[in-house]
Structure 1
Amino acid sequence: MASELVFTTDLMLVLGAAATGGYIVSRLGQPVLLGYLGSGLVIGPLGLNLIRDTANIQELAEIGVAFLLFALGVQFSLEELNRVRNIALQGSLLQIGITTGLVTTILLSFGWVDALAQGIFWGALLSLSSTAVALKTLTERGETNTRHGQIMLAILIAQDLALGLMLAVVPAINQPGPLWQVVGFVLLKVTSFLVAAVLVGRFAIPVVIRQIALTESNELFLLTLIALCLSVAIVTARLGLSIEIGAFVAGLMIAEVDYADQALGKVLPLRDTFASLFFVSIGMLIDPEVLIQNLGKILSLVSLVMVGKALVILPIVLLFGYSLKTAVLTSCGINQIGEFSFVLAVVGLENELITQETYLLLLGTTAITLVLTPTSLQLAEPLIHWVHQQPQLMSFLRKLESSQQSLEEGAIANHVVVAGYGRVGGVVVELLHRQNHPVLVLENSEAAVQSLRRQRIPFVMGDADAELILARANLTTAKALVIALPDPMSTRLLLKRARAIAPKLDIIARAHTTKELDQLSQLGAQEVVQPEFEAALALCTHLLATLGQIDDQLGMTMAKIRADHYQAVRRNI
């Protein structure tokens, strides 16, 4: 009875500390997992020593890792990966391979590791970036649907997929025998397991899940998911693979089932609860003295990692034909070490690929890179502007900003240029095309270009704010320019360059925030449209007409609000 009370007390302390630490760092605008790490340090053996039986917490933490990887597998989306599949798959493979190769070479050259296996492990570990932190940063900046946002998320999804393979290979690379034979045997074992899992996932799992769902019992549905996750994890452990790869594969088996979204909704609370135990348990291993004594080394590692990964990612994005701006933003957004590196680090520690002290240095380095991610992305814009002010450097970089498609219908004049063929730009192009107005689209999405090609609408493929793309748009002979880009920075840059090329051109721009209304107007846009305000005006127009407002008076009122850039209604929002 006493031992049960000790366990219950320890569990209460861990969860309470995680909630408190997570709340504090969240209020400071930082990732909550840093709060979990900090709370683990405070209550752990090297802190206040409040936890008396860490072994039980460690066992629960392993379940947390299993749920973490299970949810990752369920969330895996081939559709999202397919949007920018070339850079997602080939680019990620290049990024992981180059990072691993460089890290291994550097560590072996300076004698910082004793064996090739250790260098490869470090390279794999540092090649991973943080999906959670990058997505949070993009969301806060309103850039999830931008070109660089899509590329970042695609690379991160591919990295998450590669994590499953890393978790299978890492325990084997330190085994005796030629490395290629050991890894080859593990890959053969993983492939055989995946084939069996795909067959079961395709034919058996949907039937079982469907029958459980027909009971309309939430309890049975959740229990089935937990049993599937843990059972597949145990099978992989019996095969000599890690439980993490088993949990990930179990998630993949659910991902293609009709009830995948429902399954994810049920598992997420469990994942978040047990995952917090995992990160707290990591925090318990942190020795503050080691971190303080090695602070200079940690800060040096942070600089090397963030600058080094950015320099690896930058040319890869350029290699796939994207602009310098997109490449810089992408490289500055995913140059941190990811939260799943913690999972890989634990496996490496268990297999003696890293020492305890090295593990602690890694924890400190990872935590700092996660904190600095938003700042790194903020520094991208000044860096891009500085590069554009260097004539010699820009003359070289312009060769990389090449249009991937040219006009299909020869020269064009007296036309309307539409930058962006998304939800807004697509409607504009459709209406202009129906009215037989000449239109030219600037777009960098292959899927959008395919649609334009089918409709025989002239286009130039590439980033709309690139100088070479604008040179092909014939702005000096155009009647108007409509900027419907999802990226605020691209919108401003395009507006500046277009105004410099054609000072008298009628430019209509889409603003994403109230602040942008004034910025774009000052940069020379004749008309700036803010979607939220326009939606409100449309609702009010219908409402006031219903209440008996005269159409002429109503039209004049709305026109005055638009002419004044919504000043009359801004103070109320």
Structure 2
Amino acid sequence: MQDYPILINITVALVAAFVGGIIARRLKLPALVGYLLAGIVIGPFTPGFVGDQHTIRELADLGIIFLLFGVGLHFSLRDLWAVRDIALPGAILQMLICASLGILLTRFWGWELASGVVLGLSIAVASTVVVLRNLMDRGLLNTTTGQVAVGWLVQEDLATVLILVLLPAFSAQSTQPIWLTAGLALLKTAIFAAIMLFVGIRIIPWALQHIVHFRSRELFIVAVVVITLGTALGAAALFGVSLALGAFLAGVVVNESAYSHQVEIEILPFRETFAVLFFVSIGMLVNPLLLVTRPAEVFSLAALIIIGKSLIILVLGLFFARPARTMLILAVSLNQIGEFSFLVGQSGLALKLLTQEQYQLLLMGALFSIVINPLIFWGLPWIEKGLRSTPALWRRLDRHAPVPELTDEVQHNHVVIVGYGRVGQHLVEVLTRLDVSFLVVELDAGRVAELRQQGIPTLYGDAGDSEILLHAHLPTARAVVITIPDAVAAATAVATAHSVAPDVLLLARAATRDNVRQLTELGATSVIYPELEGGLALLDQALIRLGYSEQKVHQYLEAVRQDSYDLTISSPREQEALAKLRPSLALQEQPRGSE
């Protein structure tokens, strides 16, 4: 058998990540934890198979590019501006204080100042993946608190991009003064950003517009990948800026295209797959022996990330016009570090500002914080109760009236609509005219913003990949209508809805004929397959106009639907309906003959 090093490493890494992800989700932890642990398992510090770090690292670079492209694709100055009163000063102050504490801690350990700066900046930014997952799973993402958290994250993401640009100025490899190196880096970044925002914003959407006319999905996907990778590599090669910044700006530019939603759909498999390899590659660098050789440093760093960041945010809450619960949820959400911390740490490692052991210490702190973060989220009611038990402190924190969220009116006797595409929009229009209360579950942030502007109750989240439906009050709903066209997402949503509320009317849209039977078996009350439904409508009109009984035609068509759109006329139900249909033509023609 031939040697396939790249194929073997990809396969082993993904298999390990798949198993680790399943275990993590079973334990109600972020899948990210499973990916990191998978990296530890196939890393050089544990027995058994050892992956090729160089190969997986190169593949992980693609994960960084697609991850930052996705961040740029969702970047919204409007969302940031809406919560500017807290997100802008709050995120900046929290990062400065946290970074300063990190530097002080490393100085106590005897580290060089430059190393302390890198670690301090690394622990100052939270994981967007972890925060969004936690908020989404708890139905908080489209609340006022969720808006603040997203704005805070956007500010941290922008700060991280700036950090990655300026970090080389602190490198020992640089022989120029820091101010000159930093100035040149900012100048190159400004030139590249100007080109992207003034030239690229015209060329890239124009190119996508023309590629669509070729009517080839493959060409469209290739074009998106070329734009993403080409911009990232061009940024690095021509302007000396990071791949991450190039990919981020590519996403910002593509977001201005009319096809940004389609781009997101097409790029998703690349982003998710290579992002998994990125986290696995990070896990491969984690040395579990640090728990034995340097336990004091590991636990003190973890305490600074988990407890220190929470306290910093709560203290900042004393100065912002937000209720205590908002700041408490922010404190619990942001007390961890993840992908952007890894990027900053890797930059420091590449520039020789961090040693390998120092970077491993950062990774251990990240792993602890990500694992513990969901546990703290679960304990949020008890934490709030504890704070309330000290009335003076709670009054100081809770000086501002809470902003009302979803009302009880839409939480009882309502229709849950999953997906706000063409079908979902039509349902919303009809139910609005009929004065039927409803709740929309939608993943697209742009559509959610549009719905919220219209005053339509909405939950922002992925019904196919999160616990968002648990917050849609399904047991008290009149019906659940799942309109999303993706087969896997629809199946997950149906299974979740049926397990939460088995007696509620559950209507689903199927993507394929096989999906019809699958959704039925998962608990859907009725499944509609749009492609064949159009054919049944044509058959309905043809038979009625040929003189067959309208009632008998409808009985036959309903039999086809109940048999999962099986058009082979093989089931007893269909044969019986067809047998009744045949004589109906004679019954229809008899009156005509007598006239």
Residue in 2 that maps onto 1:383: 383
TM-fit CA distance, 1:179:
3.0
Q: Per the alignment, do residues 403 and 357 of structure 1 end up closer, same or farther by CA in structure 2, a change over 3 Å counting?
A: same
Distance change in 2, residues 1:313/1:394 (3 Å): closer
Give the equivalent residue in structure 1 for 2:111: 113
1:179 is aligned to 178
- Alpha-carbon distance, 1:422 to partner: 5.9
2:325 counterpart of 1:341: no
Match of residue 393 from structure 2 = 393
Q: CA deviation at 1:106?
A: 4.5
1:273 offset after TM fit, Å? 1.0
Alpha-carbon separation, structure 2, partners of 1:125 and 1:180:
22
What amino acid is the match of 1:382? Answer: W
8 Å Cα contact 1:64-1:271 kept in structure 2: yes
Change (3 A) 1:534 1:251: same
2:170 counterpart letter in structure 1: I
Q: After the TM superposition, which of the residue ranges 189-198 and 283-292 deviates more from structure 2? A: 283-292
Give the structure 2 partner of residue 536 of structure 1. 478
Q: CA 1:422–1:193 in structure 2 vs 1: closer, same or farther (change >3 Å)?
A: same
Contact 1:17 1:39 in 2 (8 A): yes
Percentage of identical aligned residues: 34
For the residues of structure 1 that align with 2:59 and 2:469, how far apart are their CA atoms? 45
User: d(CA) in 1 for partners of 2:39 and 2:308?
Assistant: 30
Is the alpha carbon distance of 1:216 and 1:346 closer, same or farther for their aligned partners in structure 2, counting shifts above 3 Å? Answer: same
Alignment check: 8 A CA contact 2:188 2:240 kept: no
Distance 1:538 1:57, change over 3 A: closer
For the structure 1 residues 182 and 288, does the alpha-carbon distance in structure 2 shift closer, same or farther, using more than 3 Å as the test? same
* Normalised TM-score (structure 2): 0.66
Q: Is the 8 A contact 1:92 1:159 kept in 2?
A: yes
Match of 2:297 in 1: 297
Aligned-residue offset at 1:361 = 1.3
Paired residues of 1:291 and 1:360 also in contact (CA < 8 A) = no
Deviation string, structure 1 residues 372-419 (Cα, Å, up to 9, x no partner)? 112223334333333333344356x17x71569xxxxxxxxxxxxxx7
Taking structure 1 as reference, are residues 120 and 296 closer, same or farther at Cα in structure 2, changes over 3 Å only?
closer
Q: 1:422 to 1:572 in 2, by over 3 A?
A: closer
| Counterpart secondary structure, 1:128 | coil
Residue 64 of structure 1, CA deviation: 1.7
Q: Deviations over 1:342-392 (max 9, x none)?
A: 122111111112111111111111011111112223334333333333344
Q: Distance between the aligned counterparts of 2:50 and 2:154, measured in 1?
A: 36
Matches within 5 A, 1:101-250: 101-108=100-107, 110=108, 112-115=110-113, 117-174=114-171, 175-238=174-237, 239-250=239-250
Q: In structure 2, do the counterparts of structure 1 residues 420 and 349 end up closer, same or farther at CA, with 3 Å as the change threshold?
A: same
Pair 1:177–1:118, CA change in 2 (3 A): farther
Deviation at 1:20, TM superposition (A): 1.8
Q: Tell me the amino acid that sits aligned with residue 87 of structure 2.
A: A
Check the 8 A contact 1:73/1:249 in 2, yes or no: yes
Residues 282 and 537 of structure 1: CA distance in aligned 2, closer, same or farther (over 3 Å): closer
Q: 1:531 to 1:34 in 2, by over 3 A?
A: closer
Query: For each residue in 1:467-513, what CA deviation from the matched residue of structure 2 results, as whole angstroms up to 9, or x when unmatched?
Result: xxxxxxxxxxxxxxxxx999xxxxxxxxxxxxxxxxxxxxxxxxx99
Residues 88 and 155, structure 2, Cα contact 8 Å, conserved in 1 = yes
Report if the CA contact (8 A) 1:36-1:279 is conserved: yes
- C-alpha separation between the residues in 2 aligned to 1:119 and 1:356? 14
Segments of 5+ residues of structure 2 without an aligned counterpart are 412-456, 460-467, 482-499, 505-595
* 8 Å contact kept, 2:35–2:276: yes
Corresponding position of 1:460: none
Within 5 A, what are the aligned runs for 1:145-544? 145-174=142-171, 175-238=174-237, 239-394=239-394, 397=396, 401-402=399-400, 420=404, 532=474, 535-536=477-478
Cα gap change, 1:422 to 1:213, in 2 (>3 Å): same
Choose 144-153 or 22-31, whichever is displaced more: 144-153
Deviations 1:58-117, CA, capped at 9 Å, x for gaps: 211112211111122112223332331322223222222232233334434x263212x3
On the 8 A contact 2:323/2:401 being kept in 1, the answer is: no
Q: C-alpha separation between the residues in 2 aligned to 1:253 and 1:390?
A: 50
RMSD, aligned CA: 3.2
- The structure-2 alpha-carbon separation of the partners of 1:259 and 1:537, relative to structure 1 and needing over 3 Å to count, comes to closer
Deviations for 1:523-572, whole angstroms, at most 9, x for unmatched residues? Answer: xxxxxxx9656651999xxxxxxxxxxxxxxxxxxxxxxxxxxxxx9894
| Structure 1 pair 368–41 and aligned structure 2 pair: CA distance change class (3 A) | same
Distance of aligned partners of 1:377 and 1:208 in 2 relative to their CA distance in 1, 3 Å threshold: same
Structure 1 residues 107, 54: closer, same or farther in 2, change over 3 A?
Answer: closer
- Say if 1:274 and 1:383 are closer, same or farther in 2 by CA, change over 3 A: closer
Figure out how many residues of one structure are paired with residues of the other and give that number: 430
> 1 CA distance for matches of 2:501 and 2:32?
37
CA contact (8 A) 1:387 1:393 kept: yes
1:299-353 CA-to-partner distances (Å, cap 9, x unmatched) read 2221122111112212323322112232222112211112221122111111112
Instruction: Give a deviation string over 1:257-294, Cα, whole Å, max 9, x none.
Output: 11111111111100111111122222222223234333
Cα 1:426–1:282 shift into 2, 3 Å: closer
- For residues 220 and 42 of structure 2, the distance between their equivalents in structure 1, rounded to whole angstroms, comes to 36
Structure 2 contact 333–377 (Cα < 8 Å) conserved:
yes
CA shift in 2, pair 1:571/1:66, >3 Å: closer
Contact 2:42 2:51 in 1 (8 A): no
* Cα distance change on mapping 1:421 and 1:21 into 2, 3 Å: closer
CA contact (8 A) 1:57 1:281 kept: yes
Would the alpha carbon gap of residues 393 and 9 (structure 1) be closer, same or farther in structure 2, given more than 3 Å must change?
closer
Aligned residue in 1 for 2:56: 57
Could you tell me how far apart the structure 1 residues matched to 2:502 and 2:274 are?
Answer: 45
Provide the C-alpha distance between the structure 2 equivalents of 1:269 and 1:237, rounded to a whole number of angstroms. Answer: 24
Contact 1:349/1:359, CA 8 A, preserved across alignment: yes
Residue 51 of structure 1 deviates from its aligned partner by 4.3
Distance 1:423 1:189, change over 3 A: farther
Partner of 2:27: 28
Alignment-derived partner of residue 93 in structure 1? 92
User: Which consecutive unaligned segments of at least 5 residues does structure 1 have?
Assistant: 405-418, 428-483, 487-511, 517-529, 540-568
Q: 1: distance between equivalents of 2:72 and 2:458? A: 32
Alpha carbons of structure 1 residues 63 and 513: separation in structure 2 relative to 1, 3 Å:
closer
Q: Distance in 2 between matches of 1:383 and 1:149?
A: 19
Counterparts in 2 of 1:271 and 1:571: CA distance versus 1, 3 Å: closer
